Structure 1
Amino acid sequence: MSLRQIDPKQRGLLIVNAHPVGAAETVTRMWERIPARPGGTSPVVLLLGHSAGYGLATLLTGLRGHGIRGVGVAFEAPETERRTASAGWYRTAAAARLVQEGGHDFVFVNADAFSEQGKAQVLDLVEKRYGPVDHLIYSLAAPRRTDPATGTVHHSVIKPIGRPYEAPALDFSEATPRVSSVRLEPATPAERHATEQVMGGADWRLWVEALAERALLADGFTTAALTYIGSELTAPIYRQGTIGAAKEHLERTAGELTAGVLAGRGRAFTVAAGAAVTQASSAIPSIALYTTFLRAVLGEDFRTTTEQAQDPWDQLTGAAPLVTDGEGRIRLDGWELDEHVQDRVRALWSDPRTGLTRATAGAEWFMGQIRELYGWGVPGVDYAAPAETTAPWPLALGGQ
Structure 2
Amino acid sequence: PSSGGIFLPLRMRERVVSSLALLGREEIQPSTPVSQLSVAARQLVEIARALIHDAPVIVFDEPTSSLGAQDIEHLFEVIDRLRKDGRAVVYISHFLEEVQRVADSWTVLRDGKVVGEGQISETSTEDLVSHMIGRRLEEMYPQIPRQRGDKLIEVSGLKTKSVLQRADLTLHRGEVLGIAGLVGSGRSELLRGMYGLDPIVSGSVRVAGHSHTPHPARSIQAGIGFASEDRKKEGLATDLTLATNLTLASSSARNLFSLLGLKKERKQVEVWIEKFGILTWGPDQPVRTLSGGNQQKVALARLLHLDVDAVLLDEPTRGIDVGSKTEVFRWIGELAASGKGVLVVSSSMQELLGICDRVQVMHRGVLGEPRGVDQWDEHSLMVCAVGGEEAA
Larger Rg belongs to: 2
TM-score > 0.5, shorter chain as reference? no
Q: TM-score, normalised by structure 2?
A: 0.29
Q: TM-score, normalised by structure 1?
A: 0.29
